[in-house]
Amino acid sequence: MSTIQLDAPATSAAFGPAVALSCRECGARVPLGPQYVCVECFGPLEVAYDFHAAGRAPVTRELIESGPASIWRYAPLLPVPADVASKPNLNPGWTRLVRAENLARELGLRSLHIKDDSGNPTHSFKDRVVAIALEAARTFGFTTLSCSSTGNLAGAVGAAAARAGLDSCVFVPAGLEAGKIVMAGVYEGELIAIDGTYDEVNRFCSELIGDEVGEGWGFVNVNLRPYYAEGSKTLAYEIAEQLGWQLPEQIVIPVASGSQLTKIDKGFKELIALGLVEERPYKIFGAQADGCSPVAAAYRDGHEVVQPVRPDTIAKSLAIGNPADGPYVLDIARRTGGAVESVSDEQVVDAIRLLARTEGVFAEPAGGVTVGVLRKLLEAGTLDPSAQTVVINSGDGLKTLDAVAGAGVTATIAPSLAAFRSARS
């Protein structure tokens, strides 16, 4: 673990309403710092808050609605300073919530929305989590922003570091999609490809934190992970606000490490606790690809433990064979009455095309996984077709064109009306 010294007191205004790091297993609390594992039980740490501290203004709908059109409208609910929006960053978030009437009609749903996070600055939801980690890195005095990545995170870290004036060094599996390599490399930080799976890349990065080579480095999804993960809560906040300050009745979320799903649940619970939305039941469904579906397999088998697998799927952004938050995903799916399901690569491609054809949204394979699982769960009678439903599209299909290779021109003709009429006959 890094020995870097804190530049700010642990409970300073730099972290807004955050007051400590709390172990998700044993509940032990430690001061805010670049830590991610509990020293008592080795459980994962997450940010704990006191939204009602003396002198803190209450968080209201009006306060949020008066904020910027980015995740910073929710700054009073995040581990960031009040002036975070004034600092150089990518200002991600406030992406569109698409009312998907055509897709709903085709699938037989009463109400369906697509939360389309391809509209973020580097075209994936990773800009949300990196923005929070970047603020923590600044506070802790880190000079290099780093990560292990399946692709989208590498681009988000490279872009955020460039904007903030920090160095960056990101590590990815060598077999990544070409589009994501270009997206990560264009910011001209260091981009290191490792001959191995994401899980092997992640283990390597954990070793770097304890080595002098990694001194002064903030790994957004390792030693800054508690802060980084909080960025996914903004998806929950935005969905609720964009639905008119109400929770969806059911939501389908892609599962890689599982962090996004667990933090969306945390965000919903915070909104209820703060009185910003009316409490009502909601179901959370997790979505994986068959080629990397350890959480779905554990759910189907009724297990509490997730057995790691070696990924083999076109949905590379979800290809984490040993998901850190897998057991928590199982807990949330079971507690809310949801489920965790997987689909084949062929079903992923079909779902990408279906979403594009019906709603004009071009998703990367992770989005195909969520739409494919949505369709599979509806056909199985697991999802309620009469309930208000939201599906997450976490990234842009332009980064993963190979997944839909074969789509293109429908005919090549001479420049004449006769040729056009002939081609269409």
Looking at per-residue confidence, does 401 or 11 come out higher? 401
Q: What is the pLDDT of residue 103?
A: 98
Percent of the chain exceeding pLDDT 70 equals 97
| pLDDT at position 397 over 50 | yes
Q: How far apart are CA 174 and CA 312, in angstroms?
A: 14
Task: Compute the mean pLDDT over every residue in the chain, rounded to the nearest whole number.
Answer: 94
Give CA–CA dist 132/337, Å, rounded: 30
Tell me if 18 sits within 8 A of 79, measured CB to CB: yes
pLDDT tens readout for residues 124-183:
999 999 999 999 999 999 999 999 998 899 999 999 999 999 999 999 999 888 888 998
CB count in 10 Å sphere of residue 8: 15
Percent of the chain with pLDDT over 90: 86
Residue 168 in tokens: 């960056």
Query: With 90 as the cut, is the pLDDT of residue 54 above it?
Result: no
Asked if residues 29 and 5 have their Cβ atoms less than 8 Å apart, the reply is no
pLDDT in the model for residue 11: 53
* 7-34 average pLDDT score: 86
Q: Return the amino acid letter for 14.
A: A
pLDDT band at 1 (very low <50, low <70, confident <90, very high): very low
Three-class secondary structure assignment of 43-103: CEEEEEECCCCCCCCCCCHHHHHCCCCCHHHHHHHCCCCCCHHHCCCCCCCCCCEEECHHH
pLDDT greater than 60 at residue 202: yes
CA 13 from centroid of its chain's CA atoms:
26
Name the 3-class secondary structure at 192: strand
Question: pLDDT confidence of 7, banded at 50, 70, 90?
Answer: very low
Phi (first) and psi of residue 375, to 5 degrees:
-65, -40
Packing angle of the helix pair 259-273, 233-242 (nearest 10 deg): 50
Q: Among all chains, which residue has been given the structure tokens 């208000």?
A: 388
Residue 167, beta-bridge partner list? 144
Residue 211 has pLDDT above 90, yes or no: no
Range name among 44-58, 88-102, 239-253, 404-418 with the lowest pLDDT average? 404-418
Q: Identify whether the C-beta of residue 68 lies closer than 8 Å to the C-beta of residue 91.
A: yes
Phi-psi region of 162 (alpha: psi -120 to 50; beta: other; left: phi over 0): alpha
| 406: Cβ contacts below 8 Å, ≥ 6 apart | none
